[in-house]
């Protein structure tokens, strides 16, 4: 299965700042890939690279949309992928790997849309405190666009602070706008502590892989 862990929060994070859903999504993707590999699965981890430079610095367009693919096995080394190579990489991965886990912090690019359309399950990490109408609109648009190519695409949303009124409002609005959507509570503190506390990862693992 191709599994995509996605987030819309890809801005550079100042030192000492609280973790965003983008960094959280990345740690979840890596943890899930490692667990699948440890279970004997042949796993490929693909990470969407985010800019290292400040927004006002010149960057080539290809630098902003690059990917890094890593076989989840001892001694494996990552290989860089250009934007135009991600489609072939995913097509080949279907034949070579049991599982492909994708860390995708940005949804704005066309290659991101292709990845969403090609995935078997899209998981979106939402941080309640930083959620707003614009992010909700973009998320719904991306899901709708991906489903125009892959109508059966299932969507799972990780929501922190699920008992708050704000989180309940997010769940209600997304449920009204997006069909076949599921929600799971995984507090951001738990997400960041996946390595130390296995229980949250186990709950998410079971929700994704139905085991």
Q: Is residue 94 part of a domain?
A: yes
- In-domain check, residue 14: no
Range 24-46 average pLDDT: 88
Confidence band of 55 (pLDDT split at 50, 70, 90): very low
pLDDT above 60: residue 188: no
100-158 pLDDT tens trace: 999 988 777 778 888 999 999 999 988 888 899 999 998 999 999 999 999 999 999 98
The CATH number given to whatever domain includes residue 123 is 3.40.50.300
Q: How many CB atoms lie within 10 A of CB 173?
A: 14
What do you get for the CA distance between the two ends of the chain, in Å? 14
- Return the pLDDT at 53: 44
* 169, HSE (Cβ side, Cα atoms, 13 Å): 10
Torsion sign across C-alpha atoms 99, 101, 135, 158: positive
Q: Is residue 118 part of a domain?
A: yes
Task: Give the pLDDT score at 65.
Answer: 54
> In the structure encoding, which two tokens stand for residue 164, read together?
């708050």
Does any domain span residue 56?
no
Instruction: With respect to residue 145, please indicate whether it lies within any of the assigned structural domains.
Output: yes
Residue 54 has pLDDT above 90, yes or no: no
The total of structural domains in the chain comes to 1
pLDDT for 30 beyond 60: yes
- Could you read off the pLDDT of 153-182 as tens digits, one per residue? 999 998 887 788 999 999 999 999 999 999
Q: How many residues does the chain have?
A: 211
pLDDT at 48 over 60: yes
Query: What is the extent of the structural domain holding 190?
Result: 2-8+19-51+61-209
What is the pLDDT averaged over residues 179-205?
68
Within a domain: 13? no
Judged against a pLDDT cut of 80, whether residue 85 lies above it is answered with yes
Contact partners, residue 56, CB within 8 Å, separation at least 6: none
User: How far is C-alpha 31 from the geometric centre of its chain's CA atoms?
Assistant: 12
- Contact criterion met (CB below 8 Å) for 47 and 22: no
User: Does position 13 have pLDDT exceeding 90, yes or no?
Assistant: no
The answer to whether residue 154 sits within a structural domain is yes
Question: Token pair of 115, please?
Answer: 């990845």
């Amino acid at each position: 299965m191709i599994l995509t862990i996605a987030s819309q929060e890809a801005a550079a994070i100042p030192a000492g700042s609280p973790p965003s859903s983008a960094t959280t999504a990345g740690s979840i993707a890596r943890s899930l890939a490692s667990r699948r590999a440890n279970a004997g699965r042949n796993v490929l981890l693909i990470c969407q690279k985010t800019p290292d430079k400040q927004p006002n610095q010149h960057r080539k367009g290809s630098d902003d949309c690059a990917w890094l693919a890593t076989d989840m096995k001892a001694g494996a080394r990552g290989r860089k992928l250009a934007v135009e190579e991600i489609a072939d990489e995913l097509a080949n991965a279907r034949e070579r790997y049991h599982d492909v886990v994708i860390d995708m912090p940005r949804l704005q690019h066309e290659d991101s849309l292709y990845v969403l359309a090609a995935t078997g399950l899209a998981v979106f990490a939402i941080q309640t405190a930083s959620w707003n109408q614009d992010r909700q609109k973009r998320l719904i648009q991306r899901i709708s666009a991906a489903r125009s190519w892959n109508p059966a695409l299932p969507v799972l949303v990780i929501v922190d602070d699920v008992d708050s009124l704000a989180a309940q409002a997010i769940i209600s609005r997304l449920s009204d706008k997006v069909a076949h959507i599921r929600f799971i509570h995984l507090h951001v503190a738990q997400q960041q502590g996946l390595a130390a506390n296995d229980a949250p990862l186990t709950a998410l693992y079971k929700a994704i892989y139905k085991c």
